Structure formats: C-alpha cells, structure tokens
A and B are shown apart, each in its own frame.
Chain A
Amino acid sequence: MKTKHFLIVATLAAVFAGCATMPPNELVNARQAYQTASEGRAAELAPAELHKAQEALKLAEESFAKDSDSTKTKDLSYVAQRKAELAGAVGAMNADTSRKDRAGAAFQDKQAEIVQQGKQDLRDSENQTADARAELDKQAALKEAKDKSDAEFQRQQAETARQAKQDLIDSEQRTADARAELARIGAVKEEERGLVVTLSGGVFFRSADSTLLPTAQVKLDQVAKALLAVRERNIIVEGHTDSQGALSYNQGLSQRRADTVRDYLIRRGYPADRIQAHGMGEGNPIANNTSPEGRANNRRVEIVIER
C-alpha cells in the first residue's frame, strides 16, 4: 500500500514538474506568431488559415502538456508557427488583392471620367466650331449683302444720274419745243425773270370784259398744249390794260383777265399749284397809249415761264 502511494505521489510530482518546465523556443515562437497573426489582418482577411494555425498550436500545446521537451512537441510548435505566419501572409495578400482591386476600379472610373470629359470637350469644340462657322457665314452674308447693296446703290446712283441727265435733255428739248410752239402763237422773249410769251389782249377779250372770246380759246388751247410739255415749271399769268379808264378799274380788269386765263389753263391740265395770276393794271405799258395801235399792244396777257 505504501508503495502504491509513493507511486501516485511520484507521478503527481512528475506532472507538476512537467507543468513547471519552461516551454521550448519553438512553442514560444509559435505562441507569439499566432498572437501576432490574430491581432493583425488575418483575423478579418484569412480566418480559415488563422483557424488552422490555432488548431496546429493546440496540437503543439497538447503535446507540450504530455511531453514538454520532446522532438514532436518542437516539431508541432514549429509547424504551428509556420501556420500562423502563413495566416498572416494570406491576410496581407488578401489585403493587397483588395488594394489592387480598388485601384483597378479607381483606374477604370478615372478612365471613364476622362473619356466622358473627352467627349464633352469634343462636343464643346464642335459647338464652338459650329458657332464660329455660323458667325463667319453671317459675316460673309452681311458682307455679300453690303457689297450687293453698295453695287445696287451705285447702280441706282448711276441710273439716277443718267435719268437726271436724260430728264434734263428731255426738259431742254421740251422747253425748246414749247418755245417754238409758243413763238408761233405769240411774241416770245427771254427776260431776267424767265421766258415771256405775250398774247394780244384784243384777240382774247372784248373791250372792258374778262370773258374769253371763242378765238381766244383756240389760241389758249395751243398755249396750254405747249405749256403742258413743261408742266414742271412755275408760270405766272399777268394781265395788262391800256391807260383808258380809271386806274382801279383797269387793275381789277387786268386781274380778272389773268384769272380767266389761269383758270382756263388749269382746266386744260396745267397743275394749279404751279400757276399764278397777277393783275398788273396799266402800269407796265409796252407801247404808247396815245395811239389806238399802241393801246392795242398794251392790252395784253403775258405768260411768264420761270426758269
């Protein structure tokens, strides 16, 4: 019985002595490696490998508990250390993979952004080009229109000048024709105030009357026809009398006669705003009033065609 107790005590002593033994370096390193791995990225990024490391360390610990200094304990500890280091390496590798993937995604995003920006720049450039082209077209159209307008203006100016010249020639021709025509009807002379046509009063009116004689109307038709060729000219119809009778009477008579002639010419088509009638009375004789012939010459109507 004593022997049995001794054996039990010896066994327990041996166990305690074993527990108190310092672990081999391999196991210390394995523990340290596992702690490092579990506190690093392996816990998140390599949990399977970390679990294998944990299992390997557990085997080593169990072996150490059974035989603290055995080769097997050292080998298992060595393997556990490598498993822990492997878990750390896998964690780091997975972190690098994530980093690479993120960089790849960022690269693609940036490339897409560049392409998008490039397209936008191209669109902007095209718009600017189109705007510039439109502006050029507009300027060209304006220049063309201006050139055309200038050419038209010059052409019109030339046409106007030519027409004015032609009108002048025509006017001069009509004036010459009218003058020749009038010269056949009455006396014509050039004066400071214009061309003066003198029509004998005896042919146009009875004595002391302002009503046109029928023969006078024929004469005045000829006069009107000649004057209508120069209707752009202002004319003045002047009535003159001889010196017989009262001065005021002669003034009124001469005015009425001038008015009668003026009205007749207007009826024949001469513009009313270009024709005036002045009664000159007896104040502008062209002959001596002492003789019947001279008074006959003084009774007259003068038509002044202004220059």
Chain B
Amino acid sequence: MRHVSRIKFMVFAVAVVATAIVAGCTNAPLRTEASTSGIRAAEEAGASKVPQASLHLQLAREELAQARALSEKGEKEEASSMLLRAEADAELALVLSHEDAERTEANAAVARVRELRKNNP
C-alpha cells in the first residue's frame, strides 16, 4: 500500500514537471536567429550561383517558412525541429558555396602551373 502511494506520488511529480516544460515551450518564442544568419551567410557566399548550394539554400528558406508557420499554429516542438532542418541546409549551402569556389581556384591554379610548364619546358 505504501508502495502504491509512492508510485502515485512519482507519477504526479512527473506530470507536474512535464506540464511545466510543455507550458514553457509553448510560451517561448521561436529562435530563428541561427537559421536566418545561416541563410544570409550562404547568400553572401554566392550560394545562389552554385547549383547544388542553391538547392539547399532554397530548402533552408522553405524550411524556415514552414517552421514559422508551425510556430504560429502553436506547434512549437515541430517548429523547432523544422528549424534544425533549415539550419542544416543553410550550413550545407554555405559549405558547398565555399567548396565550389575552392575547387574553381584549385583548377585555375593547376591550369596556371600547367600553362607555365608548357610555355617553359
């Protein structure tokens, strides 16, 4: 009997904490800073000019918009989860932009040294 009382007490306590957490989450504003700054960084890196990077930049924008929509509907947890997608795509778009630029520079450097050797055997 004493054992059952203890279980009831623990279930009650968990319910109180969970309610508090859910209440906190539902009241907290959606934190889009990481996503928006990631998207801006990718745009400034020229992601829109690199096909693969452009795709992920677009996905990030759409996912950010979806996150905001979910947040407005009160689906905060789904909104936060969607924001993670937006951040991941924005970050990938940025790296792909840099990678494309680096590949272009490397190819140019190789071509330059090849040309130099060709002209000066």
Is residue B103 within 8 Å, beta carbon to beta carbon, of the partner chain? yes
The answer on a CB contact under 8 Å between B120 and A107 is no
The answer on a CB contact under 8 Å between A103 and B112 is yes
Are A90 and B81 CB-contacts (below 8 A) given A83-B88, A100-B102, A100-B105? Answer: no
Binds A, one of B4-12, B24-32, B90-98: B90-98
Is residue B110 within 8 Å, beta carbon to beta carbon, of the partner chain? yes
Chain B, 84-121, CB within 8 A of any chain A CB: 84-85, 87-89, 91-92, 95-96, 98-99, 102-103, 105-106, 109-110, 112-113, 116-117, 120
Chain B contact residues: over half helix, strand or loop, or mixed? helix
The answer on a CB contact under 8 Å between A86 and B103 is no
> What is the number of residues of chain B that contact chain A, defined by CB distance less than 8 Å?
27
The answer on a CB contact under 8 Å between B95 and A89 is yes
Chain A's closest residue to B87 (CB) is A79
The answer on a CB contact under 8 Å between B106 and A99 is yes
Closest CB-CB distance, A41 to chain B, in whole Å?
Answer: 12
Chain B's closest residue to A113 (CB) is B120
Are A82 and B106 CB-contacts (below 8 A) given A93-B99, A96-B99, A114-B120? Answer: no
The answer on a CB contact under 8 Å between A107 and B102 is no
Which residues in B have their C-beta under 8 angstroms from that of A90? 95, 99
Binds B, one of A69-77, A178-186, A211-219, A260-268: A69-77
A76 to B78 CA separation, bound complex (whole angstroms)? 11
Closest 3 A/B residue pairs (Cβ): A103-B109, A82-B88, A100-B106
Binding site for A on B (CB under 8 A): 56, 77-78, 81-82, 84-85, 87-89, 91-92, 95-96, 98-99, 102-103, 105-106, 109-110, 112-113, 116-117, 120
5 contacts between A and B (CB under 8 A): A79-B84, A79-B87, A96-B103, A110-B117, A111-B116
